[in-house]
Amino acid sequence: MNNVPDLILMIQEKIESFPRLHHSLLPTPVYRLDCLSDEYGVNVYCKRDDLTGFGFGGNKTRKLDFLLAEACDQGCNTLIAIGANQSNFCRMAAAYGVACGLDVHLVLGGKQPANPTGNLRLDHLLGVTCHHVDSTDWDTWAEEAEKLETELTSQGKTIYRMPVGGSTPRGALGYVDAFAEITADQSRLGVEFDAIMHASSSAGTQSGLIVGRAMANWPGSIIGISVAKPQDELKKDVLDLARATAAQVDAKIEPDSIIVDDSYIGKGYAIRTPGCEEAVALFARKMGIFLDYVYTGKAAAGLIDYLRIGRFDKNANVLFIHTGGNIELFE
């Protein structure tokens, strides 16, 4: 691999001009999963973005380091985040918001439960205001959040409102930076990854990686395992967001660089599949790694299936990003 330090520096210099918090404990560990690698003859590595630190970690810390810095930079005093009742993003946004001294409001899809568990329990512990909307429709949540913003603005508050998953061009910079980190991981480990695989939903993680890939001119593939949307819909979301993210750092995105696989969703978002249950149990019992049943379990089901059906070449190097979400195990 040529000029690795130069590549990393080039990506970092491009994003340096954007304000950033440093709550994430980066870089995250990467290591070979011997049990899967030895069984299938493919070198499978795991990047532990479940250990990004702060507020129990996950992929959202990378985005929030940029988003909350922008909120503070704009002089906002109130944060609005949107997600499902068990949203990992809302839990993380709440932790970042209170740590920055902001008044945090969460618009949460789903009825208010009598006994909050998992992420919602942590939202309560963080002392933020939860507004429940009895709907699973992302557009309805966004409309409620807009209404809330109007109301809070009329009370004199200055609002920073984030969409589902914090997937804006600014938030996606977190995964452009992660790509630079992965480039350094490859150099340190002495491997070149042929593919990166991860759970994809609101497009921010995948878009950031795609932009990093374009900046580094990296030939490998980035495979987003959809956990909710049909692949054409998610591909479009990723392309739109990747282009908007790329515009901030003078990169160019080709549509054919976007790979989304929706084969592992099953009956729908957050509905368990046998493959996902198998993956969660296997990672726990053989590797001591806790996945979740909504995101990483489905992505790992995809990984295991690709290994079984021989979708990766023998001796290929594959990086699985564990994007977090395991608070769901306490739901």
Ligand X SMILES: Cc1ncc(COP(=O)(O)O)c(C=O)c1O
Q: Closest distance between ligand X and the C-beta of residue 77, in Å? A: 26
Candidate ranges 7-15, 140-148, 197-205, 214-222; the one touching ligand X (CB under 6 A): 197-205
* Sole binder of ligand X in the list 167, 168, 231, 317 (CB under 6 A): 167
CA distance 61 to 35: 29
Candidate ranges 186-194, 209-217, 260-268, 317-325; the one touching ligand X (CB under 6 A): 317-325
Q: Which is nearer to ligand X, 186 or 296 (CB)?
A: 296
Q: Closest distance between ligand X and the C-beta of residue 174, in Å? A: 9
* Sole binder of ligand X in the list 57, 109, 163, 165 (CB under 6 A): 165
Q: Which is nearer to ligand X, 43 or 205 (CB)?
A: 205
| Sequence-ordered alpha helix ranges (H) in 57-198 | 60-73, 88-99, 118-125, 138-154, 169-189
Contacts with ligand X by CB under 6 A: the residue count is: 19
Binding status of residue 179 toward ligand X by CB under 6 A: no
Q: Closest distance between ligand X and the C-beta of residue 165, in Å? A: 3
The answer for residues whose C-beta is within 8 angstroms of residue 283's C-beta and 6 or more apart is: 289, 290, 291, 300
- Give residue 290's identity as a one-letter amino acid code: F
63 to 122, contacts with ligand X by CB under 6 A? 88-89
The answer for residues whose C-beta is within 8 angstroms of residue 307's C-beta and 6 or more apart is: 36, 39, 40, 42, 44
Candidate ranges 27-35, 70-78, 196-204, 249-257; the one touching ligand X (CB under 6 A): 196-204
* Position with the least CB separation from ligand X: 325
Q: Is 200 helix (H, G, I), strand (E, B) or coil?
A: strand
Q: Closest distance between ligand X and the C-beta of residue 175, in Å? A: 8
Binding status of residue 199 toward ligand X by CB under 6 A: yes
Distances, alpha carbon 7 to alpha carbons 50, 218, 321, in Å: 25, 10, 21
Q: Judge whether 61 and 53 are in contact, CB under 8 Å.
A: yes
221 catalytically annotated? no
Give the total residue count for the chain. Answer: 331
Catalytic residue among 24, 87, 201, 207: 87
Residue 240, classified by CB atoms within 10 Å of its CB into exposed (0-12), middle (13-18) or buried (19+), is middle
* Sole binder of ligand X in the list 43, 59, 119, 317 (CB under 6 A): 59
Q: Closest distance between ligand X and the C-beta of residue 200, in Å? A: 4
Strands (E), the chain: 30-32, 43-48, 78-84, 103-109, 129-133, 159-161, 195-200, 221-226, 259-261, 317-322
202 to 221, contacts with ligand X by CB under 6 A? 202-206
Looking up tokens 């922008």 gives: 70
Vertex 86: Cα angle to 85 and 87 (nearest 5):
95
Neighbours of 110 (CB within 10 A): 17
Candidate ranges 151-159, 244-252, 265-273, 318-326; the one touching ligand X (CB under 6 A): 318-326
Which residues are designated catalytic?
Answer: 87
Task: Point out which residues bind ligand X (CB under 6 A).
Answer: 58-59, 88-89, 165, 167, 199-206, 295-296, 323-325
